[in-house]
Structure 1
Amino acid sequence: MLLNGVPYNERFGDVYFDANDPKAERQSVYASAIDEVKKDEIIIAESGFGFGLNFFVSLKKAQALGKKLHYIACEIEPISTADLQRFYADFSEFRELFCEFISFYYPIKDEILRIYFGDFGILDFYFGAAFAWLQNSDFRADIFYIDGFSPSKNSELFSTDFLALVKEHCAKDAILRSYSCARVFKDALSKNAFIYEKRAGQGKKREFIHARCPEPVAKKHTLNPWFARGNSALAKKPQKIVIIGAGITGLLTAYRLKELGISSVVLEKNPSLKNGASSNLAGLCLPLIHKPSSLLAGAHLRAFLAAISFYKKHSELAPFISFCGAKYIAKNEDEKQRFKEAFLAYPTLFAKNGDEILVKHAVQIAPLALRQFLASRLDLRFGCEVEKIFDSDLRLKNGQKISFDALIIAGGAHSNELIKSYDKNILLSAVRGQATHIKPCYDGVPLSHKGYICAPFSSVQVIGSSFDRLDLDCEIRAGENDENIAKVAQYLGKNVKVLGANAGLRAYSGDRFALISQMHDYQGFCQDYKALLWQKNKVQILPPPRYKKGIFVNTAHGAHALSTAVLGSEIMLDLLLNRPLCISHSLFSEFHSARFLIRKLKKGLEV
């Protein structure tokens, strides 16, 4: 709501900023700190995003100075799209940046949304409480904005405990800025050994706090500390990266690296790309719809938003992509309830009609054609089957050795044994699936019911898919074509003509989450965390996790790889380049390669 023409928050009983010249106030109190950081790449964190004015002023300033900005913020009460659009209608200088922002503004509770602004800006936006945000994050900020109304209205963000968390996320000599000069805030700064001073403000804001963190401190409040990054991060830009597997996951990762000027070599065991689940003629990119409160639902929504952002931004991929939308049709009462809850939680993403739910931004993709396009721009080597991986090189079955300073195992089901050689507790399996190609006979919105139907593509319509954990033979079977047709027969009519089929293996994990992380050191984890069963209710002083330096995994994406592989590639970039993670620590824990081992250690089971 508005109070005297200024946006006003009823929960906190306060306005968001000065009515007279909010942009000048934000420039003076906050963005001017950028002038004092002598780096070309800056990380700014903000508690209390609000209408985002601090962000846009800071991004514009960083852009003018030729600096790259990684901005990380939280907001417990996201502003509606309509209110944001009304507010920024008066700020023409931000129009281009705001249009980019609002195009990808889809708040997910207790999760991070990443939005790119060309090659000069990244926004990581956490939608939730500030304490949870910092406990769920791993960044070190060069500048920290303490915003979020006045201490009398929102005392939590100016408390000693919160500033202790803030300090754990500050780099050496980090600058802290706040409009507040309240005594309670200054006392909290002193108790956390920040050095502060008051500076002259702008307009009605006569003075503000400028503080400095002279020395960083170790993190004490990290959730699941055994899943933290540890001390084995690579140099910022590894020079020799090898990716095992030319499925959609491996090629997307290589393509994203190339965009950043980092070359890689992709090794594929087969003689061509026309094999496996990633060689389907058409497939749907849409999220698995689960209970909105579940981490699995959050993971798939987060992956889906990463995917549509990537596909929208890369116009060169347009020939292989169609933003056509797709619908789920409920099979049972449980699915009906899930669809209802998903629609109520995210009405901007879903539309509901009876037992159906429409995924508004679902994408149909031509996986084989897309992979062929990506491969044409990469260093892809066929017939390269990996026999053994060493510390800094690998040996192919033909005897050839290839060195690396970073290796990403992204080979789908064919890489399962390589991954399990690092830790036998990792639960991975291969699942056979066959998609059927028919003469087009359905012209509605692509759908998923007992099976799925894609829109016609090059005079072919793809339907599917079979699912078999027990049979790993990829020969085409007429019986499975019949099964695929039977699953969606009510939408196809009579006399369906089969034109062909494609069969391949997908990699799945035992808990349905993908496997995306640096590979943990099995022996180190067993030694360092062997007593977890006996430490549940005790203060734990634990060493940082140990990893296999330079070894990463990005696999087990299963049937939703067209969306989750994009998020996997983004996480790979964050890990390889030592950037702040694009997802919450809670979600990263679910993707971590050590999760199966940790679960056993917590239960006292044999590992």
Structure 2
Amino acid sequence: MAEPVEWRADGTPFSPRFQDRYRSEDGGLAQAREVFVAGCGLPQAWRGAARWCVLETGFGLGLNFLATWKAWRDDPDRPATLHYVATEAWPADADDVRRNAQVDPGFDDLGRQLADAWWGLDAGTHRLSLDGGRVLLTLLVGDSAEALRGLGRWADSVYLDGFSPDRNPDMWRAETLRAVARCCRPGARLSTWTVARTVRDGLTAAGFSVRKVEGVPPKRHNLQAELVHLPARHVALPDRAPGRCVVAGAGLAGAAAARSLALRGWRATVFDPANSPASGASGVPAGLFAPHVSADDAVLSRLSRAGVRSLCATADELLERSVDWDISGVTQIREGQLPVFHRQAGWMRPAALVRAMLATPGVTVRYGEALDLAAIEAETLVIIATGHASGLQLGYGLTLQPVAGQVSYGPTDDAPAVDGPWNGHGHFLPRVPDHSGANFWLTGASFERDSAAVVVPDGELETHRAGNRQRLAELLPLLEPALPTMFTAASDWRGVRGTSPDRLPIVGPWPDDTSRVWACTALGARGITMAVLCAEILAARLHGEPMPVDAGLVKAVGTKRIVRRIARKTGNA
């Protein structure tokens, strides 16, 4: 449930929980711009940097973020990527975030983007991709000290905000300030409106050099600081400068990786032996994206929720709603349980997304050419994203299981009206537009383990089509009378997915951290949902950026767990 906000007669938002204003009655813009943005030396400080990372404790309704985003937009010498990481224990409603942005007409577009992305903010890490993926807001929902633990060193600027120390003391306690310091690069600048002695002492103890400065009314003084002493257990993350890279595979994984790197200033060349994009499993006529649901909220469930968020932001930027994709909602059938409706879910034509991502400036594609790793210069970064074939290119004993899948589809006129997509043991899309302006239904898919066969005998094709028909009858019994007519006019499409031994994606350097070869593969049957997220995890690891998901999920999809599994299997552990 969203945190309630009271709006006073003077237009000031007020927190009933903390009995304090979110911002001053003058609108709070002067504090946002002078205390925080200018107080950290911005925009001058970020000029010449490839990327910039701001950390804020206490996101509130987002005024400091909007001021920083606007300053970034207005600066022709801005870095390619702006990261903004903020803690917030009690997220407000999207309508309150939108209303707060009305404090300045210059925030209209920014406030709309922020409010549109403001959904599903339960406890944990949430990446909101804005401004075409160049502004990345990472919300850490929960206690600040806990949320910042173990994140590594990436912050260039720090805004200490939040309700006053006497109303919200946990936000300002020494443990929180030490956690902030552990996230900072050497020399990171910090600003805040409070000059409370406990805050000054806590910052000094955490390694900051602290000074009072002239305040912004109604405050007489504000506080500025610089990290001069690195805290104990300081984790230094790698930070690779953008350059040239090559990507093997022009499917969802390869296109997403190329786009994520190009947005950060890389020049990416994508190789694919086919003559067109999405020639493999990514070429399915249409597919679903929806979160996985489990009673224990397992790794796959948390990854899929983050994946849906990343996918929707990218699709909204690059594709046309109701033509290439839509957030239609998906009804999930689980055996022995009531149906669940996923509001933030829908359908997509994945090849359209692949083409759009490959059109990102900085990305070139060489069709009809397989990547020859031996011919690539030694200093060039290599990304392997070729699905079930990735094991052959990555080597070191990696074997990915090929899983063939067959879908059936036909004209919607032959099918009874069904309200939205359904998912369960198989799935059904009742109405997907094709390039001619007509619509088709689609159902499937078969799950043929250890099969890499795209072309099969007619008899086998018919067998899998019959399996799709049976699964659809079980998923939606109301369709059963229409199935003979539907499947008489149906066509079939086959592709092959690649899965890892634990059915999770594989993302990271291969086979160790010193390698120039990185993997973004094994997305299995959830390529639509996972590709954009996995590409962002890869880019964040490569550059030492804040992660789009929590550290446990990054580790769960990392390459080390696969390398250890191979070592145990071969007796080299």
TM-score normalised according to structure 2 size: 0.84
Q: Label 1:520 to 1:75 Cα distance change in 2 as closer, same or farther (>3 A).
A: farther
Kindly indicate whether the alpha-carbon contact (under 8 Å) linking 2:127 and 2:136 is maintained by their aligned counterparts in 1: no
> Cα deviation per residue 1:384-435 (whole Å; 9 max; x = unaligned)?
4567xxxxxx23xxxx66666100010100112433x34x4x6742212111
For residue 144 of structure 1, report the CA deviation from its aligned partner.
0.8
Given the alignment of the two structures, is residue 60 of structure 1 paired with residue 63 of structure 2, yes or no? no
2:385 is matched with which residue?
410
Given the alignment of the two structures, is residue 14 of structure 1 paired with residue 27 of structure 2, yes or no? no
1:126 is matched with which residue?
140
Find the aligned partners of 2:546 and 2:334 in 1 and give their Cα distance.
40
For residue 47 of structure 1, report the CA deviation from its aligned partner.
0.7
The number of residue pairs the alignment matches comes to: 537
For residue 21 of structure 1, report the CA deviation from its aligned partner.
4.1
Moved more, 318-327 or 15-24: 318-327
Letter in 1 for 2:69: L
Question: Pick from 425, 433, 441: which aligns with 1:461?
Answer: 441
Find the aligned partners of 1:273 and 1:368 in 2 and give their Cα distance.
7
> Cα deviation per residue 1:498-545 (whole Å; 9 max; x = unaligned)?
433222211122333211222342xxxxxxxxxxxxxxxxxxxxxxxx
Find the aligned partners of 2:258 and 2:197 in 1 and give their Cα distance.
52
1:537 is matched with which residue?
none
For residue 447 of structure 1, report the CA deviation from its aligned partner.
1.7
1:517 is matched with which residue?
508
Find the aligned partners of 2:572 and 2:93 in 1 and give their Cα distance.
50
- What are the residue-to-residue correspondences of 1:246-261 with 2, within 5 Å? 246-259=250-263
Residue aligned with 1:124, SS = strand
Moved more, 484-493 or 8-17: 8-17
Identity of matched residues, %: 22
Structure 1 vs Structure 2 CA RMSD:
3.1
Find the aligned partners of 1:600 and 1:260 in 2 and give their Cα distance.
33
Letter in 2 for 1:589: K
Question: Pick from 529, 552, 570: which aligns with 1:586?
Answer: 552
Residue aligned with 2:110, SS = helix
Structure 1 gaps, min length 5: 223-227, 337-354, 388-393, 522-546
Letter in 1 for 2:501: G
Kindly indicate whether the alpha-carbon contact (under 8 Å) linking 2:390 and 2:400 is maintained by their aligned counterparts in 1: no
Find the aligned partners of 2:316 and 2:205 in 1 and give their Cα distance.
47
For residue 383 of structure 1, report the CA deviation from its aligned partner.
5.0
Q: Label 1:373 to 1:174 Cα distance change in 2 as closer, same or farther (>3 A).
A: closer
Kindly indicate whether the alpha-carbon contact (under 8 Å) linking 1:7 and 1:16 is maintained by their aligned counterparts in 2: yes
Moved more, 586-595 or 435-444: 435-444
2:466 is matched with which residue?
482
1:73 is matched with which residue?
86
Kindly indicate whether the alpha-carbon contact (under 8 Å) linking 2:13 and 2:21 is maintained by their aligned counterparts in 1: yes
For residue 4 of structure 1, report the CA deviation from its aligned partner.
5.6
Given the alignment of the two structures, is residue 152 of structure 1 paired with residue 166 of structure 2, yes or no? yes
Find the aligned partners of 1:507 and 1:584 in 2 and give their Cα distance.
25
Kindly indicate whether the alpha-carbon contact (under 8 Å) linking 1:136 and 1:586 is maintained by their aligned counterparts in 2: no
Find the aligned partners of 1:143 and 1:429 in 2 and give their Cα distance.
45
2:347 is matched with which residue?
364
Letter in 1 for 2:506: L
Residue aligned with 1:38, SS = helix
Q: Label 1:427 to 1:179 Cα distance change in 2 as closer, same or farther (>3 A).
A: farther
- What are the residue-to-residue correspondences of 1:167-566 with 2, within 5 Å? 167-217=181-231, 219-220=233-234, 229=237, 231=238, 233-234=239-240, 236-239=241-244, 241-259=245-263, 262-270=266-274, 275-291=279-295, 293-315=297-319, 321-323=324-326, 325-333=328-336, 336=337, 355-368=338-351, 370-371=353-354, 379-385=364-370, 394-395=373-374, 405-419=380-394, 421-422=395-396, 424=397, 428-440=400-412, 441-442=414-415, 443-444=417-418, 445-454=420-429, 455-458=431-434, 460-476=440-456, 477-489=461-473, 490=477, 491=479, 493-495=482-484, 496=486, 497-521=488-512, 547-566=513-532
TM-score normalised according to structure 1 size: 0.80
Kindly indicate whether the alpha-carbon contact (under 8 Å) linking 1:295 and 1:587 is maintained by their aligned counterparts in 2: yes
Kindly indicate whether the alpha-carbon contact (under 8 Å) linking 2:389 and 2:400 is maintained by their aligned counterparts in 1: no
Find the aligned partners of 1:164 and 1:382 in 2 and give their Cα distance.
51
Kindly indicate whether the alpha-carbon contact (under 8 Å) linking 2:207 and 2:229 is maintained by their aligned counterparts in 1: no
Find the aligned partners of 1:278 and 1:91 in 2 and give their Cα distance.
43
Find the aligned partners of 1:192 and 1:374 in 2 and give their Cα distance.
43
Find the aligned partners of 1:358 and 1:246 in 2 and give their Cα distance.
33
Q: Label 1:577 to 1:97 Cα distance change in 2 as closer, same or farther (>3 A).
A: same
2:29 is matched with which residue?
23
> Cα deviation per residue 1:294-318 (whole Å; 9 max; x = unaligned)?
3322211111011011010114x66
Q: Label 1:205 to 1:578 Cα distance change in 2 as closer, same or farther (>3 A).
A: same
Find the aligned partners of 1:468 and 1:365 in 2 and give their Cα distance.
23
For residue 126 of structure 1, report the CA deviation from its aligned partner.
1.8
Moved more, 302-311 or 169-178: 169-178
Q: Label 1:327 to 1:549 Cα distance change in 2 as closer, same or farther (>3 A).
A: same
Question: Pick from 41, 46, 55: which aligns with 1:39?
Answer: 46
Moved more, 480-489 or 173-182: 173-182
Find the aligned partners of 2:422 and 2:376 in 1 and give their Cα distance.
46
Given the alignment of the two structures, is residue 105 of structure 1 paired with residue 118 of structure 2, yes or no? yes
> Cα deviation per residue 1:563-594 (whole Å; 9 max; x = unaligned)?
21011222233344443322222221111111
Moved more, 566-575 or 140-149: 566-575
Find the aligned partners of 1:198 and 1:273 in 2 and give their Cα distance.
58
Structure 2 gaps, min length 5: none
